[in-house]
Chains A and B, each alone.
Chain A
Amino acid sequence: EDKVVQSPLSLVVHEGDTVTLNCSYEVTNFRSLLWYKQEKKAPTFLFMLTSSGIEKKSGRLSSILDKKELFSILNITATQTGDSAVYLCAVVNGNKLVFGAGTILRVKS
């Protein structure tokens, strides 16, 4: 059965802290791994990772994929209250996304 597991389930940090969110996966037909941020409604696309070892970066967010160990991490540096959200990891398996349960991040001011 296809599996995407995220950890931790939830996290509370203070503004300025750095956080690392984890995603491990086991799917039959891996194509790529995507990270999304979900606030009130729709998941908003952050990154797509297809190759191992290549860091994707956007501002304070960065992510990397390890296809040998089947995991990815999402780092957020200098967190702000606006980073509070659910962060979703999803793996493209064939023609569909398989989602993890998400990590709930709360950033306190």
Chain B
Amino acid sequence: EPEVTQTPSHQVTQMGQEVILRCVPISNHLYFYWYRQILGQKVEFLVSFYNNEISEKSEIFDDQFSVERPDGSNFTLKIRSTKLEDSAMYFCASTGIIYEQYFGPGTRLTVT
């Protein structure tokens, strides 16, 4: 069964460093998303991406965040200058033409 994959599973970085989180969505899906979940809190929407551009973003998704689909398979989230409060589990999700979003296993980002 096709699935969303994410790498790395865990990333530790120092405050101020740049990180890139990688996702490979399900191959025939058209819409891609990033969500995050701070420990003990709700899953929060960050950004949606369709047809090579951002279709919607939340207030959390400020100028330090960017997304890219550099080739036909990868979907990346870059955080330019990480802060302590960026520590969270980051989930990538994808969907085809209906609303069922399928989530990857997540990347746990720890900023020290």
Task: Give A residues with C-beta under 8 Å from B.
Answer: 31-32, 34, 36, 41-45, 48, 50, 88, 90, 92, 94-102
Q: Interface stretch among B13-21, B41-49, B65-73, B76-84? A: B41-49
Q: Are B44 and A99 in contact (CB under 8 A)?
A: yes
Task: Give B residues with C-beta under 8 Å from A.
Answer: 31, 33, 35, 41-45, 48, 50, 55-56, 58, 89, 91, 93, 98-106
Instruction: List chain B residues, Cβ under 8 A from A92.
Output: 99
Q: Are B105 and A99 in contact (CB under 8 A)?
A: no
Q: Are A45 and B100 in contact (CB under 8 A)?
A: yes
Instruction: List chain B residues, Cβ under 8 A from A96.
Output: 33, 45, 48, 56, 58
Instruction: List chain A residues, Cβ under 8 A from B56.
Output: 94-96
Q: Are A34 and B103 in contact (CB under 8 A)?
A: no
Q: Which of chain B's residues has its CB closest to A92's CB? A: B99
